[in-house]
Amino acid sequence: MNHYTDVLKKYAVFSGRARRQEYWMFFLFNIAAAIILMILDGVLGTYPLLYGIYVAAVFLPNLGVTIRRLHDTGKSGWWVLIGFVPFVGFIWMIVLLATAGQQQQNQYGPDPKAYGV
């Protein structure tokens, strides 16, 4: 839960670096919350109201943590656009997000793993 709230505290921060654990824990929590809200919307007959509000609310934090994750691997945030390439882009994006970060300081900041950031 800490990783989720830490990402939300950096609501629209696109600079710096994010560890793999921070990104993937935020991702997993988002998937769980989205499924729960879809079920709740279905039961209440309001689909996609609650789900849509949640997705809109976490759009910027999700984009921010994704860009910071790419920074950790030494890539520019613009690499997020590779996900729009049909078929291959989605797979390549997963590979980039799952790649270990650079252990030394890079142009985006110090290694968050080494400094407990």
Reported as a single tens digit per residue, the pLDDT across 2-56 is 889 999 999 999 999 999 999 999 999 999 999 999 999 999 999 999 999 999 9
For the cut 60, the answer to whether the pLDDT of residue 77 exceeds it is yes
- Tokens for 105, please give them: 């300081």
- CA distances to 62, 68, 91, 100 from 18, rounded to whole Å, are 12, 5, 20, 11
User: Degrees (nearest 5) of the Cα angle 21, 3, 78?
Assistant: 65
Sequence length of the chain is 117
- Give the start-to-end residue ranges of the domains of the chain: 2-107
pLDDT recorded at residue 3: 87
- pLDDT confidence of 117, banded at 50, 70, 90? low
Reported as a single tens digit per residue, the pLDDT across 8-21 is 999 999 999 999 99
The percentage of residues in the chain with a pLDDT greater than 70, rounded to a whole number, is 97
> Is there a contact between 4 and 58 (Cβ–Cβ < 8 Å)?
no
- Residue 58: count of CB within 10 angstroms of its CB: 20
pLDDT recorded at residue 113: 84
